[in-house]
Chain A
Amino acid sequence: MSHDATTSHEGIRDDLFDAAFLGRVEQLALLARRMASSGTRANRRSRVVGSGIEFADHRGYTPGDDLRNVDWKLFARTERLNLRLYEEEEDLSVYFLIDRSTSMTMAPDGEKTLLERALQVAAALSYIALSNLDRVAVVPFSDKITAPMRPVRGRAQFFKILRVLSDVPPGGQTDIQSAFAGWLRTQPRPGLAVVISDFFDAKGLGDALRLLTYRGFEPMVLQLVDRSLLDADVQGDLAIVDCETGETREIVLTPQLLARYRVAFEQLGHEVQRAASEVGARCLQVDLSVPFDDVVMRVFRAGGFLG
């Protein structure tokens, strides 16, 4: 996509990340901080013993524990050895797993593609995360991970994020489970994994999300859909071609069959939500017609993004 899109001399796509976009992202960041201070933030602190200053809990002593952490006052009352546990704030790693497969690049002539919308949303959320001193990494995938990025921190890295997003190559078949498995083999630091995709994957999403949670990630699912493709007035004898696999099927498209296709499309969205809820992940389905800033605000309203 970056090859034929408009890019500036810094390698950032002007058609996606122009000045207006950047100004809108700044406003979104301010709005997000206000929403966080109002108590809607989730608790995203690591429960480790030691360097923290805020008491969290006790736990029983086991041989080998540092005796400096023993709560002797409690021992005097109960004659049992317990350790004091402190919560320690740590910087969060936020991974934007962006589906770059061919299905994400389909759009009517002159219209934005799902991939472009995904890049914009990821850029906006990245800025907010960087502003929150979290670590951010962009991970494009199709059936595998291409050029995994090391997480960066600080708002100064935002343009690096933009360059990475601008260079996301479109194409490939969707295989989320294989892509995630390959990525997890690179031992990424656990964190928040925001999966942005249309989830047109024959293998489904459940196993991929379970793999993420098993490795300690907190997944968040953002399904982008383009319902304008459902409203096409094409009828008759057709040969439908899968844009990713090239498989062809001959059908006689009637209004009744198109209605059943719409039902199946909605069922696919329900399946994505069910897979997300099975692992406790938040799921959001957003149509392409929704502006990117509204998408960002919906993410915040849904909760779970940043802590």
Chain B
Amino acid sequence: MNALHVNQLLMNANDVLRLAGAMLAVIALLYLLRPRQRRVEVPFGGLWQRVLAESESRVVGRNLRRLLSFLLMLTLAGLCIAALAEPLFGRRTTGPKVEAPRPHTVVIVDVSASMQTLDGQNGSRLAEAQAALRRWLVAAPAEEDVLLMAASGHAEVLAGWGSDRATLDAGIGRLHATDGGLDLRRAVDTAQQALAHSHNGRIVLVSDAGPAELPLEITPQVAIEHLRVGPARAWQPGQPTPPRNLTNLAVGELRVRPDPTDPSRGTLTVQVRNDAAQPVAAQLLLAGSDTAFDAATFGKTDALRRIVDVDLPPGLSTQTVPGVDLTAARFAVQVRGKAGVHDLAPWDDWGFAVLAERRELGVLVVTGSPEVDPAAGNLYLSAALFAHGKVKVQHLAAADYHPETFAAKDRARHGVDVVVLDQAGFALPEGTPGLVLSLAGAPTETLRLAQGPELAVRGEEHPAMRGISFQDTNFDKVRLIPTRPGDVILAVAKPRGAVMVARQDGARSLEWGIDLLETDLGARYSLPLLVSNALLWLAGQEESLVPPLLVGRPWAVDAPVNAEWQYVEPGQKPRPARTSGRQLLGQSEHHGVHVWQSDGDRLVARATVLAPTENPTLLQPWGPEARTLATTRVAEQRALALPRWSLWLLAALLIFAVEWLTYLRRRTV
């Protein structure tokens, strides 16, 4: 619920008259379809007259009932018309009464990462944008209704609709640049939806993007003005838009193929589309990084590897770039027109590719549990390793394992990257990364068993615990691990005590005070993720865990509906949260943390990626509990949700049904 819906009240008189006429026609038809009054012949009407004369007040009552019936029908018609008009309770437009030609303006302010650049006239580009916007607001007509919207990966309404300058100025003050990219298409779509019922609407875009980069899908009736900020010349109201050499360049597909003889180098194949009617001179910017994952992060990091000049023929063409350094894991390519070429859609200029890992991790599993076949290992652990898909597992019986003689050269010879000790009761070989699952019988620790403990994740930021939740997971026994300085506690049990610990003194090691035979963790999704995280961190490949967040991707989490939720951002005043039904709506951001609060309650959502579905994890930072919520994609949810006017229509139908049944009961023979 936001101010966008206020605009939906603006039905003109003709629409209302048409609706009312249609409704009256329907009512008239329903009256015609009603059962006829039955005529009964009686031998002596005077006797009935005498009976009815005894209670003349009943005649009044009967007429009253008929009047009530008529009023009910009128109410029904009113409700139907109201349903079609989609009014909102408790909200009204600010300022004077809205008239048909009243101007409506949606101001889209670019708050993408590029607006943090400190090359503006007042510091950052965003500060320059705020100053320019305030000047524009002073010059705008007083009766103009303005909706202020911040756009980055998603569009967020900060103020409006309204003409109250103080409110709008406060909204401008709340603008802050994000770390995300700009999804201008989404912002303009949202603005057009807000202007859907306006006959005098326009969009003002405040951005450091060029005027030639405006989206294509703009309704011709909606005028769009560009208020440019940044090092280029500032746009002035009334200044004509510069002439454009309009075209669109887009990257369709990027493929990375390693050289068979030298895997560190390879060939990039890019499919590029040129929508212009003539060839266009352009550049392909090739970038590679182990951490970057989208246009913003590739743009920020020093990932640029090569710039290739190409002549793009009209339509689709394939460009091949051989001899590219493939030492990075992720690659991106951007197509950019040379001077004088104005690309209409900058958001499709990027293509991304991930180079698959070329070597499997070597994992040596030493099993010491008498209940487990040493040749096969723990079933759950084996399944988790199998689910990882890129490990080569060797099993070793505890009797054949001699850590004191397990030298580094043996590790290299056997291709062992990580050693897993499952209830083996031995120490890890020196200098060898390993995972120790130990419960009873470990000789080096003091054991303390806890019955039925509940584990809570503590090291959410640690790569080994990303996306992990132990909610509703039972652990029959755990071992509380004494910690040393420098240890990172990954999980704790009730009563407080570390159960999972990460160490990095020389080689990396993880110690889990659990036995996979004593818990139902093995039946949950967390175990393969936990094992995979552990192996990658132990092998020094935790960068592979960087979540490829899709910025701006909407999701929703369940929340109690009997509370008024507010969305909290650091350094900002809380604002009403976006809700839909029983859910709080969110969008993936690079910072990834979303906080809502209500009276006495607080929810924190942290977006992680559990491929292929993004899955935010709700955390309660003041307590040990953490839970991962199943989410619904907002698009699907909107498809399922009933439109607001359906409630009005339902109420009207209910009244109609009651009135109709009452009428039929009176007419029942």
A residues with CB within 8 A of B:
102-103, 106, 198, 200, 202, 226, 229, 234-245, 247-252, 257, 260-261, 264-265, 268
Main secondary structure of the interface of B (DSSP, over half): helix
Q: Which of B96-104, B200-208, B661-669 contacts A (4 or more CB under 8 A)?
A: B661-669
What 1/0 flags go to B47-63 for Cβ under 8 Å of A?
A: 11111101000000010
Within 8 A of A (CB), among B243-267: none
Q: A234-B669, A237-B667, A249-B52 are in contact. Are A106 and B41 (CB under 8 A)?
A: yes
Q: Which of A238, A242, A260 contacts B38 (CB 8 A)?
A: A238
Compute how far the CA of A304 lies from the CA of B41 in the bound complex, rounded to whole angstroms.
36
B39 on the A face (CB < 8 A)? yes
Give Cα A103–Cα B41 distance, bound, in whole angstroms.
10
**Cα distance, A238 to B48, chains bound together (Å):** 12
10 closest Cβ pairs, A-B complex? A242-B45, A200-B44, A103-B43, A202-B46, A239-B39, A236-B667, A106-B43, A264-B51, A241-B41, A243-B41
CA distance A239 to B38 in the complex (A): 6
B45 and A247 form a contact (CB under 8 A): yes
Chain A to chain B contacts (Cβ below 8 Å), 11 pairs: A234-B38, A234-B40, A237-B37, A238-B40, A240-B42, A241-B45, A249-B48, A250-B37, A260-B51, A261-B51, A268-B47
Contacts of B39 in A (CB 8 A): 238-241, 248
Say whether, besides A234-B40, A235-B669, A240 and B51 are in contact (CB < 8 Å).
Answer: no
Is B52 touching A251 in the complex (CB atoms < 8 A)? yes
Contact of B48 among A198, A226, A236, A251 (CB under 8 A): A251
CB distance from B68 to the nearest CB of A (A): 13
Taking a contact as CB atoms under 8 Å apart, the answer to whether B46 and A242 are in contact is yes
Which residue of A202, A240, A248 has the most chain B CB atoms within 10 A of its CB atom?
A: A240
Q: Which residue of B lies closest to A225 (CB)?
A: B43
Asked whether, in the complex, the Cβ of B669 is within 8 Å of the Cβ of A264, the reply is no
Separation of A17 and B48 alpha carbons in the complex (Å): 35
- Chain B residues with Cβ below 8 Å from A248 are 39
**Closest beta carbon of chain B to A8's beta carbon, Å:** 30
With A235-B669, A236-B667, A236-B669 already in contact, the answer to whether A257 and B45 are too (CB < 8 A) is no
Cβ–Cβ contact B52 & A198, under 8 A: no
13 extra interface residue pairs, beta carbon distance < 8 Å, beyond A236-B667, A236-B668: A103-B44, A106-B41, A200-B43, A200-B46, A234-B40, A236-B665, A238-B39, A241-B42, A242-B42, A244-B43, A249-B49, A252-B666, A261-B48
CB distance from B58 to the nearest CB of A (A): 8
- Report yes or no: B38 in contact with A237, Cβ–Cβ below 8 A: yes
User: Could you tell me the distance between the alpha carbons of A202 and B49 in the complex, rounded to whole angstroms?
Assistant: 10
B37-A238 in contact (CB<8A): yes
- The reply to whether B50 and A264 contact each other, CB–CB distance below 8 Å, is yes
**Interface centre among B43, B50, B62, by most A CB within 10 Å?**
B43
Which residue on chain B has the smallest CB distance to residue A102? B43
Which residues of B have CB within 8 Å of A202?
Answer: 46
Alpha-carbon separation in the docked complex, A226 to B51 (Å): 19
A200 to B52, CA, bound (A): 17
A23 to chain B, nearest CB (A): 32
A236 to B62: give the CA distance in the assembly, Å: 12
Q: Which of B37, B51, B667 is most buried by chain A, counting CB atoms within 10 A of its CB?
A: B51
Judge whether B666 and A237 touch: CB under 8 Å.
Answer: yes
The answer to whether A235 touches B51, judged by C-beta atoms less than 8 angstroms apart, is: no
CB distance from A27 to the nearest CB of B (A): 33
- A251-B52, A252-B62 given; A240·B40 CB < 8 A: yes
| C-alpha spacing A240/B360, complex, angstroms | 96
A106 to B44, CA, bound (A): 10
Inter-chain CA distance A240–B48, complex, in Å, is 9
Distance in angstroms from B664 CB to nearest chain A CB is 9
A104 nearest CB neighbor, chain B only: B43
Which residue of A is nearest B43, CB measured? Answer: A103
Q: List A contacts of B43 (CB < 8 A).
A: 102-103, 106, 198, 200, 226, 229, 243-244
A99 to chain B, nearest CB (A): 11
User: Which residues B641-669 have CB closer than 8 A to chain A?
Assistant: 665-669
A236/B38 in contact, CB under 8 A: yes
Q: Is the CB of A264 within 8 A of B666?
A: no
A260 to B58 Cα, complex, angstroms: 13
Which residue on A lies nearest to B54, using beta carbons? A260
Inter-chain contact B40/A264, CB cutoff 8 Å: no
Q: Is the CB of B37 within 8 A of A265?
A: no
In the complex the two chains form, what is the Cα distance from A200 to B665 in whole Å? Answer: 32
Inter-chain contact A264/B42, CB cutoff 8 Å: no
Q: B45 and A249: CB pair below 8 A? A: yes
| Residue in chain B with minimal CB distance to A262 | B51
Q: CB distance B47 to A200 under 8 Å?
A: yes
Q: How far is the CA of A103 from the CA of B47 in the complex (A)?
A: 12
User: Shortest Cβ distance from A19 into chain B, in angstroms?
Assistant: 32
Inter-chain contacts of B42 with A (CB < 8 A): 229, 240-243
| Bound Cα distance A264, B40 (Å) | 19
Whole-angstrom CA separation of A252 from B48 in the bound complex: 12
Distance A252 CA – B63 CA, assembled complex (angstroms): 11
CB–CB B44/A257 < 8 A: no
Are A240 and B47 CB-contacts (below 8 A) given A250-B37, A252-B666, A260-B54? no
CA A260 to CA B49, docked complex, whole Å: 12
| Residue contact B50 to A240, C-beta cutoff 8 Å | no
Query: How far apart are B240's CB and chain A's nearest CB, in angstroms?
Result: 74
Bound CA span A234–B38, Å: 10
The residues of B that contact A245 with a CB separation of less than 8 Å are 45
With the chains together, A193 CA to B668 CA distance in Å?
46
Query: Which residues of B sit under 8 angstroms from A247, Cβ to Cβ?
Result: 45
CB-CB under 8 A from B48, the residues of chain A are 240, 249, 251, 261
Looking at B42, B51, B665, B669, the one whose CB has the most chain A CB atoms below 10 A away is B42
Closest residue on chain A to residue B668 by CB atoms: A236
What are the residues of chain B within 8 A of A103 when measuring CB–CB?
Answer: 43-44
Q: Which residues of A contact B65 (CB under 8 A)?
A: 252
B592–chain A nearest beta-carbon distance, Å: 68
**Which residues of A sit under 8 angstroms from B51, Cβ to Cβ?**
257, 260-261, 264
Residues on the B chain within 8 Å of A236, using CB? 38, 665-669
How far in angstroms is the closest Cβ of chain B from A210? Answer: 21
Contact B45 A265 (CB under 8 A): no
List residues of chain A with CB within 8 A of the CB of B669: 234-236
**A267: nearest chain-B partner, CB-CB:** B50
In the bound complex, how far is the Cα of B48 from the Cα of A103, in angstroms?
A: 14
Cβ-closest chain B residue relative to A252: B62
Residues of chain B with a CB closer than 8 A to A243's CB: 41-43
Which A residues touch B49, using CB under 8 A?
A: 249
**Shortest CB–CB separation between residue B668 and chain A, in angstroms?**
5
Q: Collect the chain A residues with CB atoms within 8 Å of residue B62's CB.
A: 252
Q: In this complex, which of A235, A237, A238, A248 has the most chain B Cβ atoms within 10 angstroms of its Cβ?
A: A237
Bound-state Cα–Cα, A244 to B41, Å: 10
Please report the C-alpha to C-alpha distance between residue A198 and residue B44 in the assembled complex, in whole angstroms: 10
A272 to chain B, nearest CB (A): 13
Distance from A112 Cβ to chain B, minimum over Cβ atoms (Å)? 15
Chain A: minimal CB distance from B655 (Å) = 20
Instruction: Give chain B nearest CB distance to A173 CB in angstroms.
Output: 11
A17 to chain B minimum Cβ distance, whole angstroms, is 25
Q: How far, in whole Å, are A236 and B65 apart by their CA atoms in the complex?
A: 13
Which one of A198, A200, A229 has the greatest number of beta carbons of chain B within 10 Å?
A200
Contact A265 B666 (CB under 8 A): no
| B85-107 to A contact mask, C-beta < 8 Å, 1/0 | 00000000000000000000000
Per the bound structure, the CA–CA distance linking A263 and B395 in Å amounts to: 103
Assembly CA distance A238 to B35 (angstroms): 11
Task: Output the least CB separation between A226 and chain B (Å).
Answer: 8
What's the Cα separation between A237 and B669 when bound, in Å?
A: 9
- Residues of B295-312 contacting chain A, CB below 8 A: none
